[in-house]
Amino acid sequence: MKAFITVLQVIAALGLIATVLLQSGRSAGISGAIAGGAEQLFGKKKGLDDLLSRLSAIAAIAFLLLSLLLSLI
C-alpha cells in the first residue's frame, strides 16, 4: 500500500513540475511593465494557460494530500 501511494506521489510531483514549466511567464520584465503590462493584469487567462493553471493546482493538492497520507502510514 505504501509503495502504491509513493508511486502516486511521484506521478503527482512530475505532473506538478511539468505543468509549472509549461506555463507562460507572468511578467515580461521591465519592458512589459512600461509598454502595456496592464493588459495582462486585467485580462483573463484563456486557453492553455488556464488549463495548465488548473492542472498545476490539482497536482499540488494531490501531492500535498499524498504527502500527508504517507506521513500517517
pLDDT tens figures, 7-57: 999 999 999 999 999 887 766 555 555 555 555 555 566 788 888 889 999
Q: What is the pLDDT of residues 54-71, one digit of tens each?
A: 999 999 999 999 999 999
Range of the domain at 7: 2-72
What nine digits make up the cell of 1?
Answer: 500500500
Which grid coordinates are listed for 50?
A: 488556464
- The domain total for the chain is 1
Rounded Cα–Cα distance for residues 36 and 38 (Å): 5
Instruction: Report the 10 Å Cβ neighbour count for 26.
Output: 10
